[in-house]
Structure 1
Amino acid sequence: MILLQVQHVARYFGADVLFENTYLEIQENSRIALVGRNGAGKSTLLKMIAGIEQPDAGQIIKSKQVTIGYLAQNTGLHSNDSIWNEMLTVFEPVIQLEKEMRKIELQLGDLELLADEALYQKTLERYDQLQHDFKLANGFGYEAEIRSVLHGFRFYEEDYQKNIRQLSGGQKTRLALAKLLLEKRDLLILDEPTNHLDIETLNWLENYLQAYQGALLIVSHDRYFLDKVVNEVYEISRQKMVHYKGNYSKYLDLKAANLEQEWKEYEKQQTEISKLEDFVNRNLVRASTTKRAQSRRKQLEKMDRIDRPQGDEKSAHFRFQTEKESGNVILSLRNAAIGYEDQILSSPIELDIRKYDSIALVGPNGIGKSTLLKSLIDDLPLIQGEKQIGTNVDLGYYDQEQANLNSRKTVLGELWDSHPTTPEKDIRSILGSFLFSGDDVEKSVTNLSGGEKARLALAKLSMNRDNFLVLDEPTNHLDIDSKEVLENALIDFDGTLLFVSHDRYFINRLATSIVELSPDGSTLYLGDYDYYVQKKAEQEELKLLALEEQEKNMLILEPVATSKNHREIDKETQKKARQLSRQIEALETKMAEIEEQVEEIEVQLIDPEVFGNHVKVQEINVQLTKLNTENDVLATEWEEKSIALEELEN
């Protein structure tokens, strides 16, 4: 079934066209990516589809019953309530159903109601309907669902009572997305949903969205994410929309194949045109061939000429070059601890960076990845440890906050002041390679977009000609095309790289090894991102097999190469996990028994002999209320223990 159609939609800015004649169709369970350059109009189109803005031309048709959820870029959840209470508002109708059920349960034991058989039967029917609706709306599991989604976005039990006003911008954005997912709209429109998410959370979100029951329309610069989630792509380019079937990688293949085919058809027609024109020119004045030449000329006039394929729009093009060659040892770090004042975020950290290494630094948000980079460039002190820089190493640093850009300068001034001996024409040429041309170079830095600031910071970095680049989230704010240009420039870089990124596609193309940060320090993986994921999965599988073996034999195996303290912690964790598993099984058995009793009692209530005995009915209703209350308590306890077990296993 078609949920929504965009028909011939356009957006104009005076005489300028952002896009026009745009067509897009969304069906039930569609998984659509909307791609295009920054400034192509993706976010504008999403706002039109969400009903926030109106198109200048065309129309957007949707069924009245279709519910739409929209998440704008960097939009946070604004509320004066706690995290838990705000999530509960999504299930307010279910909560009201439960309240009405409890109210009727009390009424069913009332003697006056029992005396009125017709009213009693009507009340009982209403109670049956409420029970049905309550189960259908996941009444017994909505709290577990809230916990599951909050856990996926890294909000834990101790966070639930925090006031949302106290959260950071990134946390509010994650919470806004969490609430939107819980609302289960028919169509989710997500504009850059992967912002502020670490790799582990991205993996969770991908799995969640793959199983989402509604349709998805997503704008994202995360190519790995798009490959996992979408199965069709709409591209806005040169004011037009083109539709491709398949994920992002398939879209790239199809786009390249289409362009190649367009060139073949264009060149074939150009050859034909050339032959016809040549025949006309040679034979038009000759009496014997004039008629044939005139016929060819008419053929040329009637020909539907194919436009020259335009291919991609103008892209940035730059390189990172080195001034001098470094020694083989670039940087070593031994027994390091990072953090602030007395708070250690990660320890012990070991790094051994050699010439031509390309190392990706990964780990959850807040673990200290940016802190480590700042400690390496001496912006922050190490809490402990020894750092040594190798011979002839020139370190260049890219700051994700672009703090090294002067907001009072122009684009041209920012670069020229850093390299005053370089001729202006050379500075302008370099800026042009980063897509700053004409009046763009006179723009104030403070008025630049996030993507423009990122390109300017990269331009400054490229001019320094350092042989060791330390990059903190270099792909932030860049569109996909600019990311690919940056990737190619870094792949060709004749130096050494250490970088932090949440862009798994970027990591996969660049990294020769991965260093994972955790509270317990650093772990080295000698491969790209896919290798890292594979090794992590193998480690998790081995861990589960070991636990199963321990359960089977009731033995606790000592992990290899760990300290006594770690073994003790592991034993305690496994003991708690076994206890929780047994408790959960016992709760499930008890809940099943209660449900059987409730079913038996409900059958008794409709028995004519019992139905006519008001005293018996009252006794049964009291028993029924007691059982339902007991079952609710057990269900809550089951949810809490299940979450606790999940956290232990993770």
Structure 2
Amino acid sequence: MILLQGNNISRTFGADVLFEKINFTIQDNSRVSLVGRNGAGKSTLLKIIAEVETASSGDISKTKNLSLSYLAQDANFSSERTVYDEMLSVFSDVIAQEKMLRQMEEQMAEVTGDALTSLMTRYDALTETFRQNKGFTYESEIKNVLNGFKFDETQFWHQKVASLSGGQKTRLALAKILLENPQFLILDEPTNHLDIETLLWLENYLKNYRGAILIVSHDRYFLDKVTTETLELSRGKLEKYPGNYSQYIALKAEKLASMAKQYDKQQKEIASLEDFVNRNIARASTTKRAQSRRKQLDKIERIDQPDAQEKSAHFTFEPDVTSGNVVLTIENAAVGYDQGVLSQPINLDTRKYDAIAIVGPNGVGKSTLIKSITGQIPLIAGTVKLGTNVTLGYYDQEQRDLTASNTVIDELWNDHRLTPEVDIRSRLGAFLFSGDDVQKSVGMLSGGEKARLLLAKLSMQHDNFLVLDEPTNHLDIDSREVLENALIDFAGTLLFVSHDRYFINRVADKVLELSAHGSKLYLGDYDYYLEKKAEEAEIAALLAAEGDDSSDTAAQSGDQVDYQASKADQKVRRKLQREIDELDASVQKLDSEIELLHGEMVASSEDFVKLGELQADLDKLSSEKDTAEETWLEKIELLENS
């Protein structure tokens, strides 16, 4: 069923056209992401759909009595109620019904006969309405949602909303909207201020949500998990793609490739017709035919060149010197502030060319660890040591390394006075600062522009070890992808904190998890990290289940408890040992196949085609061997710790 339609929607600001004559449809089960560059008009379109703003032309048609909730990107949510009372206000009608039911129950004890029969009929009808309105479950739903958004009962439920931080208010606004349970949810950047654990909870909640959802978000991993349809707003036009964000990227690439072929074909046709006209228009015997070709030219509907897209940044990071093999060593570190330790012990051995992502819940000390590594905050305990020839470059998510009174060009030039102006301007141009933009005051820049300027400054330092604290914050999706590609190509070492799981997946080859109990290193990307966490949870659950079984007989025999616990532990260890043996056999088999390939390559040294094929096979087998060995090491580590 169609819930809402946009018909020829346009939005202009004076003579400037933001978008025009766009059409879209939202079904009752839609899971839609709206994507596009910063400034394309995504938030404006959401506001028009939510009736916060008015379109310059066109109209929105909705199904009768459509319930709709809208979360603005800059939700200014405040209230003098407590957190829990604010959530209760969503269910004011249900609470009134509950009060009425209690009154009717009291009345039943006082009336008889027909009055009682009538009262019981009304009571049954109201009870059913109360049930349908989640009257029997609303308190548990409030608890579930508040806990999902990390509003602990003892710390937050009785705290006034007005006293919360900006990020907490935004999270609470989203929690309230989810409790309202409308037919249509409109969410503008709902993942801001959420740690990874809360993001996972929100993803699962929205995947099971019974209603339509329209989302604007820079979190591509989140969009992949939640959405099944993508609307792209670009250059004032709206285009629909089936599938989530990753599918949209693939389909768009296919479309651009097809358009490029069509454009090239048409250009050849146009060139051929123009050449014929130019050669034959003046000759009496062929002028009619040339005129006919000219008419053909006039009738051709010209295809726009597909490369004429919005300008992209071109980030590059090139180290001046190569570091030693050991880049960073952290031993038994404790991070925190005067009021206490956030995480300990932290251990990390970082080698040249590592790309390590630091993850963990908000408040566990990820940024604090970064600041301790860069020398801004002392460790409470332990040591941090940089290796030989290591030059460290730091990106600060709080953007404090910028001077508001500087112009954009002076922000770079002040640190590199001997660099010619043309080179400074060229570097700024690569980061999308050109023309009069370079004379703007830094204080007048947007968050995204400041992020690009900081990255431009970092690129001028030519360090071989980049330490980055939330580098994708404020960047639009296009700039994030450009940054990812630059860091993937970076011939140095990376250590970074990020909530952007898509970014982590593309850039990281290791994940360092921080918790209050210290650190743990996982040898893979974010998806690999999740797989390993799931395995660990499964093993823990198995041990817990076996432990529960043994506890049933604890009263009969203390020895039996020990036996059951030992039995569960042996079961886990046997399973791990089997997996280790299988992986070991797999590695040995791959070694044999690689050795055979080397022999074939020696024998085919003069056949370059064959050598290319053998090299491709060798690369594939080597990659499989590396993966198997990393998994083998992880299993051994688990076995030693079990």
TM-score bracket, shorter-length normalisation: 0.7 to 0.9
Query: Secondary structure, in 3 states, of the residue corresponding to 1:8?
Result: strand
| CA drift at 1:560 | 7.9
Shift of 1:354: 1.1
Q: d(CA) in 1 for partners of 2:7 and 2:115?
A: 54
Q: Which of 251, 255, 262 lines up with 2:252 in the alignment?
A: 255
**What's the counterpart of residue 3 of structure 1?**
3
User: Structure 2: which amino acid aligns with 1:92?
Assistant: S
Paired residue type of 1:40: A
The partner residue of 1:398 within 395, 400, 412 is 395
AA matched with 1:470: V
Q: 1:164 aligns with which of 155, 161, 177?
A: 161
SS in 2 for 1:37: coil
| 2:328 alignment partner, one of 315, 331, 335 | 331
CA distance in 2, matches of 1:28, 1:362: 36
Provide the C-alpha distance between the structure 2 equivalents of 1:468 and 1:192, rounded to a whole number of angstroms. Answer: 31
Partner of 1:265: 262
1:127 is matched with which residue?
123
Stretches of structure 2 that go unaligned for 5 or more consecutive residues are: 552-560, 571-642
**Residue equivalent to 2:134:** 138
**Any residues of structure 2 matched to 1:296-335 within 5 Å, and which?**
296-335=293-332
1:338, 1:344 within 8 Å by CA — same for their partners in 2? Answer: yes
How far residue 58 of structure 1 moved from its aligned partner, in angstroms, is 1.3
Q: 1:418 is paired with a residue of what secondary structure?
A: coil
**Hey, what does 2:537 align to over in structure 1?**
540
Residue matched to 1:418: 415
Report the RMSD for the aligned CA atoms in angstroms. Answer: 1.6
Comparing 412-421 with 224-233, greater Cα deviation is found at: 412-421
AA aligned to 1:148 is N
CA deviation map 1:164-218 (0-9, x unaligned) = 2232221111111011000001111111111111111111111110111111110
Alpha-carbon offset, residue 76 of structure 1: 4.8
Counterpart mapping for 1:197-236 below 5 A:
197-236=194-233
CA contact (8 A) 1:329 1:390 kept: yes
2:56 aligns with: 56
TM-score scaled by structure 1?
Answer: 0.84
Structure 1 partner of 2:20: 20
1:613 aligns with none
In 2, are the aligned partners of 1:76 and 1:170 still within 8 Å (CA)? Answer: no
Q: 1:246 aligns with which of 221, 243, 248?
A: 243
Matches within 5 A, 1:467-478: 467-478=464-475
In structure 1, runs of 5+ residues without a counterpart are 562-650
Rate the CA distance shift 1:560–1:154 in 2: closer, same or farther, 3 A. farther
Contact 1:400-1:476 at 8 Å conserved across structures: yes
Aligned counterparts of 2:349 and 2:59: Cα–Cα separation in 1: 59
Residue 311 of structure 1: CA displacement?
Answer: 4.8
* Counterpart contact for 2:94–2:135, Cα < 8 Å: yes
In structure 2, the residue matched to 1:571 is none
- Report the Cα offset of residue 289 of structure 1: 3.3
Residues 61-117 of structure 1, C-alpha deviation per residue, up to 9 Å, x if partnerless? 21341111111114253111111111111111111111111111111111xx22xx3
Structure 1, residues 478-525: CA drift from partner, whole Å, max 9, x if none?
000000110111111111110000000100011110000000000110
Match of residue 456 from structure 1: 453
Instruction: Quote the residue 1:638 is aligned against.
Output: none
Contact 2:469 2:497 in 1 (8 A): yes
Check 1:76–1:201 CA distance in 2 against 1; reply closer, same or farther (3 A cut).
Answer: farther
Matched, 1:361 2:358: yes
2:385 and 2:251 map into 1 onto residues whose CA distance is 49
Higher relative contact order (CA 8 A, sep 6+): 1
Distance in 1 of aligned mates of 2:146 and 2:248: 33
Q: Which amino acid in the other structure matches residue 322 of structure 1?
A: P
Identity %: 61
Retained in 2: the 8 A contact 1:35–1:42?
Answer: yes
**2:87 matched residue in structure 1:** 87
CA distance in 2, matches of 1:222, 1:509: 13
Q: Match of 2:30?
A: 30
SS in 2 for 1:9: strand
What stretches of structure 1 move > 4 A for 4+ residues in a row? 558-561
Deviations 1:298-321 (A, max 9, x none): 222222222222453100002111
Count of residue correspondences: 557
8 A contact 2:543–2:569 mirrored in 1: no
Rounded to whole Å, the distance in 1 between the matches of 2:15 and 2:74 is: 30
1:389 and 1:497 map into 2 onto residues whose CA distance is 13
Q: Residue 385 in 1 paired to residue 382 in 2?
A: yes
Code of the residue aligned with 1:89 in structure 2: it is S
Q: Which residue number in structure 1 is paired with residue 70 of structure 2?
A: 70
